[in-house]
């Protein structure tokens, strides 16, 4: 596999920033489809694909989210062209006969609630990260957020309880004037153990 160019690494990681403000520039439904179609190709265990996404694109849709937001996130959501609710399908395994090549996967998860829950959470979170990288790959900026009341989001958007909110992510074209200073990262020595 080839090493990708530094310019691509910069766009995806090293120069990319978490956005806190947004330019008045739209994001099209086609761009959102492209983001998903790239992100869905990222690996998940047993190809389980438990992430579900709700893209809030209109003021009316975002208004439904407002009561669940922490005060510091209200303006960010109002200004962003799109806010994604990145969520987890707790019954992802119902799709296993369609997406996994061996029989019995659905029954395995169906009969083991702890295994299903851990698999769903872990892999939906991975897919949420792929979604952000995919958004950056197509020229969009991201502003992931944890400051919200999960129970309120679930009650409003996922009332049947099957899908549960994981995190929020604003998408669009960031206003660089509203960036915070880049915060330090842990060094290799601090974060990695070589055995």
Give whole-number Cα distances, 131 to 75, 183, 188, 192, in Å: 23, 22, 25, 25
Q: Where in the chain are the domains?
A: 22-175
Confidence of residue 192 (pLDDT cuts 50, 70, 90): very high
| CA dist., res. 85 & res. 169, Å (int) | 7
3-state helix, strand, coil in the chain (%, to 5): 50, 15, 35
Q: What is the pLDDT of residue 24?
A: 95
22-175, what's its fold? NADH Oxidase (3.40.109)
The predicted-structure confidence for 99-137, as pLDDT tens digits, reads as follows 999 999 999 999 999 999 999 999 999 999 999 999 999
Q: What is the pLDDT of residue 43?
A: 98
Q: What is the pLDDT of residue 123?
A: 98
Mean pLDDT (the chain, rounded): 97
Q: Which two tokens stand for residue 21?
A: 């403000």
- Mean pLDDT value of segment 67-87: 97
- Mean pLDDT value of segment 4-31: 96
Model-level pTM? 0.96
Q: What is the pLDDT of residue 45?
A: 98
Pair 116, 90: CB distance under 8 Å: yes
Q: Which two tokens stand for residue 143?
A: 């502003």
Q: Which of 164, 159, 165, 161 is nearest to 145 (CA)?
A: 165
Confidence of residue 91 (pLDDT cuts 50, 70, 90): very high
Q: What is the pLDDT of residue 51?
A: 98
């Amino acid at each position: 596999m080839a090493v990708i160019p530094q310019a691509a690494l910069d766009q995806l990681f090293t120069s990319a920033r978490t956005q806190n403000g947004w330019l008045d520039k739209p994001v099209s439904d086609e761009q959102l489809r492209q983001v998903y179609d790239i992100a869905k190709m990222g690996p998940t265990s047993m190809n389980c694909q438990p992430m579900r996404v709700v893209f809030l694109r209109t003021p009316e849709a975002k208004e439904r989210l407002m009561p669940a937001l922490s005060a510091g996130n209200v303006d960010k959501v109002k200004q962003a062209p799109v806010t994604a609710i990145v969520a987890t399908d707790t019954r992802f395994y119902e799709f296993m006969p369609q997406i996994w090549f061996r029989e019995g996967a659905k029954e395995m998860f169906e009969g083991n609630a702890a295994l299903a829950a851990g698999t769903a959470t872990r892999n939906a979170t991975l897919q949420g990260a792929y979604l952000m990288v995919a958004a950056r790959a197509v020229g969009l900026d991201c502003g992931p957020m944890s400051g919200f009341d999960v129970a309120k989001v679930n009650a409003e958007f996922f009332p049947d309880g099957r899908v549960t909110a994981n995190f929020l992510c604003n998408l669009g074209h960031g206003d660089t004037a509203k960036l915070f200073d880049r915060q330090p990262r842990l060094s290799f020595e601090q974060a990695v153990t070589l055995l």
